[in-house]
Amino acid sequence: MRESDSNLDAYDTADARHLKPVKQPVDWVPAEEAPATHFQSPTARSSNGDRSHDRRGVSTNLSFDHLYASSSASFMSPELRDRVIRWLRRHVPISRLQHILRVEQFSVELAQRYHLDPEQAAQAGLMHDLAKFFKPQRLLQVAQAEGVVLDPVDVANPHLLHAAVGAIVARDEFGIQDEAVLDAIRNHTLGCPGMSALSCVVFLADSLEPGRGDTPELVALRQSSQQDLYRAVWLTCDESLRYLIARAQQIHPRMVLTRNWALGLTHKKTPTSRSH
């Protein structure tokens, strides 16, 4: 029997919208097939979306064992980390788990650089994609049951909800109560105007982790992430927006708001525009 078999899905009832979650662990059903990723760094993707190779075809995946034992492992309770990784092994493919472990590590590195709490960064990094492979219907169902306010772009692209739903899974399945960690999970895809430095770190780590490749754009963005958190958020949003526009995909208004917020903070610090 799987660990979660004895805990039937708390949301899987006719009146799921009225359920106040979330005392029980939930049978989170993964999608048979991962939907196309909506907001991802536009600079390096493999055809199957896992971006395990850069444009030169060079493998950027370290082995699972190597990633599992990375230095970021020491910033979380080993029991919690093992429990999350065991759960992930049942709910996401190995390529996604490798990405998640790289995001965990990059989040810790950025947190240390900006004097943030590495434990919060490790937790948010490790749990940011818990719902990545949930079916679209399930994402909508869980989000609605939780009272998440849906934009029409969310309804048209339920995959975007994996960030909000991931925070719900982190809370319900793993008992995460730290709102800063939950916010960082919620904000990892679209950001949010006014988001915390921790959220910025996880947002950037998700887009810029080494498995994304080594294109000139990514190299520049990584460099920026080491110098100015908000400037890097602005520039990363710009890259995502360029990607979406080039492919005639919908743009979630929250990403534009995040971009404008980060741009505003950057210009306040280092004005570059001339007045005419």
Interface residue with Fe ion, options 129, 154, 173, 209 (CB under 5 A): 129
Q: Which is nearer to Fe ion, 100 or 235 (CB)?
A: 100
Options 60-68, 81-89, 107-115, 124-132: segment touching Fe ion (CB under 5 A): 124-132
> Closer CB to Fe ion, residue 10 or residue 121?
121
162, 140 Cβ separation under 8 angstroms: no
CB nearer to Fe ion: give 102 or 259: 102
Work out how close the CB of 260 gets to Fe ion at its nearest, in angstroms, rounded to a whole number.
22
Handedness of CA 64, 66, 71, 75 (dihedral sign): positive
Cβ of residue 207: shortest distance to Fe ion, in angstroms?
8
Cβ atoms of 131 and 27 closer than 8 Å = no
Nearer to Fe ion, 10 or 129 (CB): 129
Give the range of 17-25, 129-137, 216-224, 249-257 binding Fe ion by CB under 5 A. 129-137
In whole angstroms, the minimum distance from the beta carbon of 168 to Fe ion comes to 14
Give the amino acid at 272.
Answer: T
Q: How far is the CB of 33 from Fe ion (least distance, A)?
A: 16
Q: Can you say whether residue 175 is alpha, beta or left, with left for phi > 0 and alpha for psi between -120 and 50 degrees?
A: left
With contact defined as beta carbons under 8 Å apart, do 207 and 243 qualify? no
Residue 129 half-sphere exposure, CB side, CA atoms within 13 Å?
Answer: 27
Q: Which is nearer to Fe ion, 206 or 217 (CB)?
A: 206
Provide the minimum distance between the beta carbon of 37 and Fe ion in the complex, in angstroms, as a whole number: 8
Note if the bond before 181 is cis, omega within 30 degrees.
Answer: no
Report, in Å, the least distance between residue 227 CB and Fe ion. 23
How far is the CA of 78 from the CAs of 4, 75, 86, 263, in angstroms? 20, 9, 12, 38
* Residue 172 vs 206, nearer CB to Fe ion: 206
- Contact (CB, 8 A) for 142 and 166: no
Are 58 and 94 spatial neighbours (Cβ–Cβ below 8 Å)?
no
Query: Which residues on adjacent β-strands are paired with residue 53?
Result: 59
CB of 5 to Fe ion, least distance (A): 26
Q: Which of residues 24-63 bind Fe ion (CB under 5 A)?
A: none
In this chain, which stretch among 62-70, 122-130, 141-149, 213-221 interacts with Fe ion, using CB under 5 A?
Answer: 122-130
Amino acid at 188: H
Rounded to whole angstroms, the Cα distance separating 264 from 41 reads 22
183 near Fe ion, rule: CB under 5 A: no
Alpha helices in the chain (DSSP H): 64-68, 78-91, 94-113, 118-127, 136-145, 152-156, 162-174, 179-186, 197-208, 216-227, 229-246, 253-269
Phi, psi of 244 (to 5 degrees): -65, -40
Binding string, residues 192-221; x marks residues near Fe ion by CB under 5 A: --------------x---------------
- Identify which of residues 10 and 128 has a Cβ nearer to Fe ion in the complex: 128
CB of 264 to Fe ion, least distance (A): 25
For Fe ion, the binding residues (CB under 5 A) are 129, 206
